[in-house]
Amino acid sequence: MSTEGLEGVLLWTAAHHLANTCAQPLPTVRARLDEASGSLLAQPILMLDDDPAENIAAVNGYALCGQGPWRRTPEETLAPGECFMVRAGTPMPEHADAVMPLERAVSEQGRGNVITVTGRDILSGLADERVRPAFGDGVLLRGSRTPQGTQILPAGRLVTAAVLALMAAAGHDEVPIVRPPIVGTLVLGSSLLTSGGSRLGRARDALGDSVPAFVAALGARANPAVRAPDIHEVIRAEIEDANVDVLITTGSTAPDSDNSVRHVLRDLDARWLIDGVAVTPGAQMLLARLPDGRLVVGLPGSPQSAFAGLVTLVSPIIRALRGVPRDDEYPSAVLVDDAPRADFADDTRLAPVRLETDDTDGLLARPMLDSGPAGLIGWGNADAIAIVPPGTGIKGDRVSLIML
């Protein structure tokens, strides 16, 4: 690629690796269950109490005490020769030693409305005083399903709807999570339109809604985009006032005097981590760290180039801040057509692809054309982004994939 005006241009693999390693997981916080969805558990989750919390009936039937026949009683403290009707999941009466299922019991009403319960012979179906369940049959003892202190969820587990349901059922009101990163978006350029199509030489802003949506899908807390003119003082004020972990700017990254982002970052004593990447599209992306630790990702104003910056830099940064383990093994596929060419011989080409399957080669990748509004039809219809290294990209080559 052309390095004119850029300092220390990195190969795509180096830039992506740096983005993976430049951030550490954010501090652990305790969050209410309704705040935790999409975060990662910072600690294992344990049972607060035994499950069941007391001895309960495992079946519908009669809780028994001693030998039969048994006299049915309304009292929940049994004496020998007494029984109490129970439903599955209800607490066992005191002194009960087993539960006889309803289908194994014969009940008869005698004088004074006294109900006597006898066991039923399984072969004849007749009442038999010798039939009774073994001690403990039909009973779930306290803690027999899950004792107190048992780990029910490991650290690092994604908090899904099922995880929230499990924690609520186990009695948890709060959950320890890695705090999700807060990400802001600053859209630069006073000529961008916010509604309708491009007209009168002014382009429709394609990034103000899509960038927050992209980072939210990664599990970050995405603030609504802020729009600002490309004016030094305005950009500086917006960066200084942004209460975020990561600030993404769109536009104004080209290394010339008309673009202010680089000048503002230098005035703020930012530490440059990436100033240009050998990639098509998106060469003029940048990454810097402010003195207070916040990260600033500068994306080019071209929507294609901005999306290349999102998958190259923003995605791994957010994963690192969330504490998601790195996965250096990418899925791969075989190209069924030539990929679009990179702008320069040493560029990596990020190519949107549709995925297909084949009995011989397995997963196949069909490159999409850079066409349509802002060249985004390919990105909008892609299943993945193919990482096409320099010197490759012809039909039959195997390429790594970033899944969308």
Mean residue pLDDT across the chain: 92
Distance (Å, whole) CA 70 – CA 119: 9
Q: Specify the pTM.
A: 0.81
Architecture of domain 56-140: Beta Complex (2.170)
pLDDT of residue 41: 95
Instruction: Check: CB of residue 83 under 8 Å from CB of residue 108.
Output: no
The reply to whether 56-140 and 332-403 are identical in fold is no
pLDDT of residue 1: 42
For the record, the structure tokens of 265 come out as 């970052």
pLDDT of residue 7: 66
CATH 3.90.105.10 fits 30-48+151-178, yes or no: yes
User: 3-state DSSP helix/strand/coil percent for the chain, to nearest 5?
Assistant: 20, 30, 50
Full DSSP string of 120-171? B-TTT-SB-TT--PPTTTTEE-TTSSB-TT-EEE-TT-B--HHHHHHHHHTT
Type of residue numbered 112: G
Residue 395's CB: how many other CB atoms inside 10 A? 11
pLDDT of residue 25: 93
Q: Which fold has domain 332-403?
A: Beta-clip (2.40.340)
In CATH, what class is 10-26+180-322?
Answer: alpha beta
Digitized pLDDT (tens) for each residue of the chain, 404 residues in all: 444 456 679 999 999 999 999 999 999 999 999 999 989 999 999 999 999 999 999 999 999 999 989 999 999 899 999 999 999 999 999 999 999 999 999 998 877 788 999 999 888 888 888 889 999 999 999 999 999 999 999 999 999 999 999 999 999 999 999 999 999 999 998 777 777 777 877 778 889 999 999 999 999 999 999 999 989 999 999 999 999 999 999 998 887 777 789 999 999 999 999 999 999 999 999 999 999 999 999 999 999 999 999 999 999 999 999 998 887 789 999 999 999 999 999 999 999 999 999 877 689 999 998 888 888 999 999 999 999 999 999 999 999 999 98
Q: Hey, which residues does 348 pair with through a beta bridge?
A: 279
Show me where the domains of the chain are located.
10-26+180-322, 30-48+151-178, 56-140, 332-403
pLDDT of residue 3: 44
